[in-house]
Amino acid sequence: MYLNRHFAFIALAALLAGCSKETHTKEAAPQAAAVRVTTETVAESEMAGVHEASGTVEARVTTPVSARTMGFIKEIKVQAGDQVRADQVIAVIDSRDLDTAVHQATAALNEARAATAEVQQGINAANAQLELAKSTFARMSNLFEKKSISSQEFDEASSRVKLAQTGYDAAVSKQAQVNAKVEQGRQGVRAAEIARTYAEVRAPFAGIVKERKAEPGSMAVPGAPLLILEQAAGYRFEAPVEESLLSKLRVGQAVTVRVEALDKSLPLKISEIVPVVDASSRSVMVKVAMPALQGIRSGLSGRLEIPAAPEKVLTIPAAAVVHQGSVETVLVAEGEFARSRMLSLGRKSGDRIEVLTGLNAGDRIIHPRPAELADGARIESK
């Protein structure tokens, strides 16, 4: 029994000694050195006021492109989003019926031309008969004056002249009719050939295919859109602005358009104010002409910024903000530690940016931010 107690005491002593050693080791571990940082106290500053309105980039000219003749669609050569040149063939209609119409018109023209030769022969024959009748009548007239022929013979010669003249006039009249048919045939061929060109649907201007509304095999009907095409040059930004600002708006007024997809803020001017208030939204449409930009197209969203009176807002250096995807943070000095704060940001003015939420006046942000500094790290202000 004594030995068991002795061994238990030794084991307990060893355990306590180990714990004491471990505690001594932990207490002896050195703390991480504090990072020396520079801080800036968050305070209100004056920033130019602005009224914002969300809007969309729109093409100045958007037009449906349709076939000018009826027929089955043989091919559509473009897709939505494709760029096209002016007069480029963008669709093809089955032209067999149009080819047949050209052949028929050409046959009618050839037939009229063949009749022209026949009519000319008739005119020549009628003219010969007329000349013969006239010369005969002249001789008969001399003889009649000399009392060498009877009145009946003279009247018969006169009648032959009149009959020959009638025949000649009829032949000339027929020639005019045939000439008219020839001209009609030419116009028919010209019209059929023009109609055959309608089998190729061409782009009316250089632009971008906004929408494809038909497929090969379907029936093309004049006036029914095959494609929607927007003109490549000439875009504008359109935004509904609340009606309370109408008295402060004017054409030519300086504004800023921010297009997020292009990562651009453009100083522009109002080009048009639609003089009608939308009854449902109580807003007026403001339009701003856009410059030619790489990647611009209709449908892009953006913001219209209209200058207003200056206002007091919380601002911090834009360089102090860390961007991680859509999350924006800043490090704040809280006692001896750096703490990360998530922010909601507003407008940017120069090198400073407006803070909507996440900071209060009097907070101390760490700026510039040391590369090795992380959330929760010990800090020491300079």
Whether 225 is in a domain gets the answer yes
Q: Do 258 and 329 lie in a common domain?
A: yes
Q: Do 276 and 337 lie in a common domain?
A: yes
Confidence of residue 28 (pLDDT cuts 50, 70, 90): very low
Query: pLDDT of 204-219, one tens digit each?
Result: 998 889 899 999 999 9
Q: Do 214 and 330 lie in a common domain?
A: no
Q: Do 80 and 224 lie in a common domain?
A: yes
Confidence of residue 12 (pLDDT cuts 50, 70, 90): very low
Q: Please give the mean pLDDT across all residues of the chain.
A: 86
* Spatial distance between the Cα atoms of 278 and 319, rounded to a whole number of angstroms: 41
| Domain span including residue 136 | 96-188
Left if phi > 0, otherwise alpha if psi is -120 to 50, otherwise beta: which for 345? Answer: beta
Confidence of residue 20 (pLDDT cuts 50, 70, 90): very low
Whether 25 is in a domain gets the answer no
Give the pair of three-digit tokens for residue 363.
């907070």
As a whole number, mean pLDDT of residues 26-39 equals 71
What is the CATH classification number for the domain harbouring 102?
1.10.287.470
Q: What is the pLDDT of residue 185?
A: 87
Q: Do 354 and 268 lie in a common domain?
A: yes
* Spatial distance between the Cα atoms of 271 and 254, rounded to a whole number of angstroms: 10
Residue 175 is classified by DSSP as H
Q: Do 108 and 223 lie in a common domain?
A: no
* Largest interatomic CA distance in the chain: 194
Q: What is the pLDDT of residue 342?
A: 95
Whether 16 is in a domain gets the answer no
Last residue of a domain, one of 188, 217, 242: 188
Starting at the edge strand found earlier in the chain, the sheet holding 225-231 runs 62-66, 225-231, 207-212, 83-84
Give the pair of three-digit tokens for residue 293.
């930009």
Q: Do 82 and 138 lie in a common domain?
A: no
CB 351 within 8 A of CB 317: yes
Whether 314 is in a domain gets the answer yes
Q: What is the pLDDT of residue 11?
A: 43
Confidence of residue 29 (pLDDT cuts 50, 70, 90): very low
Q: Do 316 and 171 lie in a common domain?
A: no
Show the DSSP H helices in 198-286 as ranges: none
As a whole number, mean pLDDT of residues 346-355 equals 86
Q: What is the pLDDT of residue 310?
A: 85
Last residue of a domain, one of 174, 209, 231: 231
What is the CATH classification number for the domain harbouring 209?
2.40.50.100
What is the CATH classification number for the domain harbouring 348?
2.40.30.170
Residue with the larger pLDDT of the pair 79 and 382: 79
As a whole number, mean pLDDT of residues 334-355 equals 90
Residue with the larger pLDDT of the pair 253 and 180: 253
As a whole number, mean pLDDT of residues 315-344 equals 92
Separation in Å, CA 220 to CA 79, 95, 102, 178, 195: 17, 12, 20, 38, 14
Q: Do 106 and 139 lie in a common domain?
A: yes
Query: pLDDT of 189-245, one tens digit each?
Result: 998 888 888 888 999 998 889 899 999 999 999 989 999 999 877 899 999 999 989
Q: Count Cβ atoms within 10 A of the Cβ of residue 123 and give its class: 0-12 exposed, 13-18 middle, 19 or more buried.
A: middle
Whether 1 is in a domain gets the answer no
Q: Do 205 and 255 lie in a common domain?
A: no
Q: Do 77 and 218 lie in a common domain?
A: yes
Whether 309 is in a domain gets the answer yes
CB 312 within 8 A of CB 46: yes
Show the DSSP H helices in the chain as ranges: 2-28, 96-145, 151-197
Whether 316 is in a domain gets the answer yes
Whether 18 is in a domain gets the answer no
Q: Give the alpha-carbon dihedral of 84, 85, 91, 94, to 10 degrees.
A: -170
Lowest-confidence segment of 5-14, 305-314, 336-345 by average pLDDT: 5-14
Query: pLDDT of 43-98, one tens digit each?
Result: 998 887 888 899 999 988 889 999 988 889 999 999 998 989 999 999 999 888 88
Q: Do 243 and 332 lie in a common domain?
A: yes
As a whole number, mean pLDDT of residues 326-334 equals 93
Give the total number of structural domains in the chain.
Answer: 3
* Spatial distance between the Cα atoms of 303 and 294, rounded to a whole number of angstroms: 19
